[in-house]
Amino acid sequence: MAELTHEEQKHRSLFGPIVLIAIGLFLLFNQVNPVTDLHWLDVLRLWPLMLVFLGLNILVLQAPRPYSAFLSGLIALIAVLVFGYVLLNGLGGSWWGNRSSAAIGDWQTDTIQYAAPGVDTAVYNITIGPPGADLYALEDSRKLIEGTVYYQDDYLFETSASGSKATVTLAPNDSDESWVFWPNYWREYGEANRWQVGISPRVVAALTLETVAGSTHLDLQDLQLSELTATTNAAETEMLLPGGDYDATLVNNATSTEITLPADGRQAIDLQVNAGAVTLHLPPGVAARVEVEQSLGGFTVHDAALQPVEGQENVWQTAGYASATDQLDLTIHVNVGSVTID
């Protein structure tokens, strides 16, 4: 009988099966004997810890069998015990306070705008919370940013300019970064509308975006970008990327995201999927190269223009890519979740 090679002995993870079995057993038990006094808010507060466990699982999978499988199972059991304990007993401690019952105000609306004559570059830092937003390029406007925001209690809007460069920051509430995890802040969405925010296509923009809950439409196609960083957290997001030459870092955390890739220009895009599902739309005729790293996630190519590169594992490329003037370089890391290109 042939012995397994070192590479064949790797990458046998028990993390996913154990976690799924634990969740299934809990749901089954809860159907038979419902548990009402559960600390779901405390569990939501600790969601970044799951990313830590996933990262540890990826690391231990580099060890040869049987150690990788044993360590993977051990990490899964620790994760189940930690989150199970928090769910049943809560976190406690004075730092936790009474945030879940914090007083909040009614929905309010405000108009924002900022113009900085003589500016040709801008840095935008925009965080979008529930109920979501429409972000787009302004038409027939000299403003750097203009729109309408809906909020409870407060929101952050800061602007500055120095020489030919401006900086714009927009976020729901800078005083409490954990606001999104409290359902009291999500009540009565019918009273609020999505943010409507336009930014200038006349300046070169370095854009940092974060979406948290809600539904967000990001139409960036008419913008001039020098760089883009976009993180989506528990939000349904549609993103349309512009042409031009720039680098982009896209992070998908526990959300469903659709991304229309650039139709022209040279881009290096790094996509990290930590959970959720991402669908990528590749415009016809684009010269693209795709490299994929998979852990627990899945990757599917439906676009016939992308073909596997001979001799290179998990690499796809369109015909004529090497000699094309405009090139799209896409690196995909699928930790948990799925990615589809069509």
Residue that wins the pLDDT comparison between 300 and 29: 300
Q: Alpha-carbon torsion 129, 134, 136, 138, what sign?
A: negative
pLDDT reading at 305 higher than 80 = yes
When pLDDT is cut at 50, 70 and 90, the band that residue 33 belongs to is low
Taking only the tens place, the pLDDT of each residue in 254-283 is 788 999 999 999 999 999 998 889 999 999
- Per-chain mean pLDDT for the chain: 84
Q: What are the C-alpha distances in Å from 273 to residues 137, 209, 228, 292?
A: 27, 16, 16, 11
Residue that wins the pLDDT comparison between 30 and 108: 108
Mean pLDDT over 217-243 rounds to 95
pLDDT reading at 177 higher than 70 = no
pLDDT reading at 336 higher than 90 = no
> Percent helix, strand, coil in the chain (nearest 5)?
20, 40, 40
What is residue 181's predicted lDDT score, i.e. its pLDDT? 45
**Residue ranges per structural domain of the chain:** 15-89, 105-240, 245-342
pLDDT reading at 186 higher than 50 = no
pLDDT reading at 244 higher than 90 = yes
Give the integer Cα–Cα distance in Å for 148 and 172.
12
When pLDDT is cut at 50, 70 and 90, the band that residue 92 belongs to is low
Q: In what order do the strands lie in the sheet with 276-281?
A: 107-114, 145-152, 195-199, 132-137, 215-219, 236-240, 255-260, 276-281, 338-341, 298-301
Question: Which token pair is 250?
Answer: 């896209």
Q: CB under 8 Å to 2, separation ≥6 — which residues?
A: none
What is residue 32's predicted lDDT score, i.e. its pLDDT? 66
Q: At what angle do helices 47-60 and 67-89 cross, to 10 degrees?
A: 170
DSSP state of 328: E
Report whether 18 contacts 80 (CB < 8 A): yes
Taking only the tens place, the pLDDT of each residue in 35-55 is 656 677 777 778 788 888 888
pLDDT reading at 95 higher than 50 = no
pLDDT reading at 21 higher than 90 = no
For residue 69, which of 20, 4, 11, 5 has the smallest C-alpha distance?
Answer: 11
Give the integer Cα–Cα distance in Å for 112 and 194.
14
When pLDDT is cut at 50, 70 and 90, the band that residue 97 belongs to is very low
When pLDDT is cut at 50, 70 and 90, the band that residue 288 belongs to is very high
What is residue 179's predicted lDDT score, i.e. its pLDDT? 45
Q: What's the whole-model pTM score?
A: 0.70
Report CA Rg, the chain: 23
Residue for token pair 């089954």:
28
Question: How are beta strands 195-199 and 132-137 bridged, if at all?
Answer: parallel
Angle at 39 between CA 35 and CA 43, to 5 degrees: 125
pLDDT reading at 117 higher than 60 = yes
Mean pLDDT over 299-323 rounds to 93
What is residue 172's predicted lDDT score, i.e. its pLDDT? 86
Residue that wins the pLDDT comparison between 129 and 36: 129
Residue that wins the pLDDT comparison between 217 and 55: 217
What is residue 102's predicted lDDT score, i.e. its pLDDT? 41
